[in-house]
């Protein structure tokens, strides 16, 4: 038998339900508008734009994932497995992108990597006055900017896993003649 207490929602449940409704309201409105469109419009979109946009989105997500994994795992490995001057500074600096909002980082990277920015000036000094770097609005530029913004998440998780990993396996590999890179690829990464 159901009691009266189970039927009445608590104030916290009501606030949570109201918040969820407000958050989902714009999504519901856009979905309603999209589903009420003429079928001819959907047919035209599926034959022209949607496949290209899906391929671009999947390609961007894949490139960002690969770059993020490469940056996050390699920096965590270097900071935890090598002893070098200023290591404590790098441990802090590699997490700093998390302290800034994403849109601020996008503006900073756009300024630094954009046409006529400081990075392009340095590149022109090295490679000649006509040399150009990739634009942050290009596919690879957007991939790099997004990876530089998200790699600290992978870095923190990998660093934590590496610090709790038993290093005796790596020491055995090094004793058997494996290089640092071979040890990372054949021992450390499979253990992670």
In a domain, residue 45? The reply is no
In a domain, residue 154? The reply is yes
In a domain, residue 13? The reply is no
Rounded Cα distance between 31 and 38, Å, is 14
Write the pLDDT tens digit of every residue in 16-68. 999 999 999 999 999 998 888 888 888 888 888 889 999 999 999 999 999 99
State both tokens at 23: 């958050």
Rounded Cα distance between 78 and 72, Å, is 10
CB 174 within 8 A of CB 183: yes
In a domain, residue 70? The reply is yes
**Segments forming the whole domain that contains residue 73:** 55-191
Domain count, the chain: 1
Go through the chain and tell me how many residues it has.
192
Rounded Cα distance between 7 and 58, Å, is 45
CB 176 within 8 A of CB 170: no
In a domain, residue 183? The reply is yes
pTM of the model: 0.73
In a domain, residue 48? The reply is no
In a domain, residue 129? The reply is yes
User: Tokens 């946009």 label which residue?
Assistant: 53
The domain that holds 97 is classified in CATH as 1.10.3720.10
In a domain, residue 49? The reply is no
Write the pLDDT tens digit of every residue in 107-127. 888 888 888 888 888 888 888
Write the pLDDT tens digit of every residue in 134-173. 778 889 888 988 998 899 999 999 999 888 887 788 888 8
Residue 81, Cβ density class (10 Å: 0-12 exposed, 13-18 middle, ≥19 buried): middle
């Amino acid at each position: 038998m159901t009691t009266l207490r189970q039927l009445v929602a608590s104030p916290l449940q009501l606030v949570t339900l109201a918040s969820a409704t407000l958050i989902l309201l714009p999504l519901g409105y856009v979905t309603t508008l999209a589903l009420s469109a003429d079928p001819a419009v959907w047919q035209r979109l599926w034959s022209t734009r949607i496949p290209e946009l899906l391929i671009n989105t999947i390609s961007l997500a894949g490139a960002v994932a690969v770059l993020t994994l490469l940056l996050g795992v390699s920096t965590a490995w270097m900071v935890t497995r090598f002893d070098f001057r200023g290591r404590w500074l790098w441990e802090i600096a590699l997490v700093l992108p998390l302290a800034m909002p994403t849109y601020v980082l996008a503006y900073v990277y756009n300024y630094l990597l954009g046409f006529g920015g400081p990075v392009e000036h340095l590149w022109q000094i090295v490679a000649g006055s006509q040399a150009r770097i990739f634009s942050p609005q290009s596919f690879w530029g957007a991939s790099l900017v997004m990876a530089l913004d998200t790699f600290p998440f992978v870095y923190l998780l990998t660093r934590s896993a590496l610090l709790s990993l038993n290093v005796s396996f790596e020491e055995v590999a090094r004793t058997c003649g494996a290089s640092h890179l071979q040890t990372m690829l054949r021992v450390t990464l499979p253990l992670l």
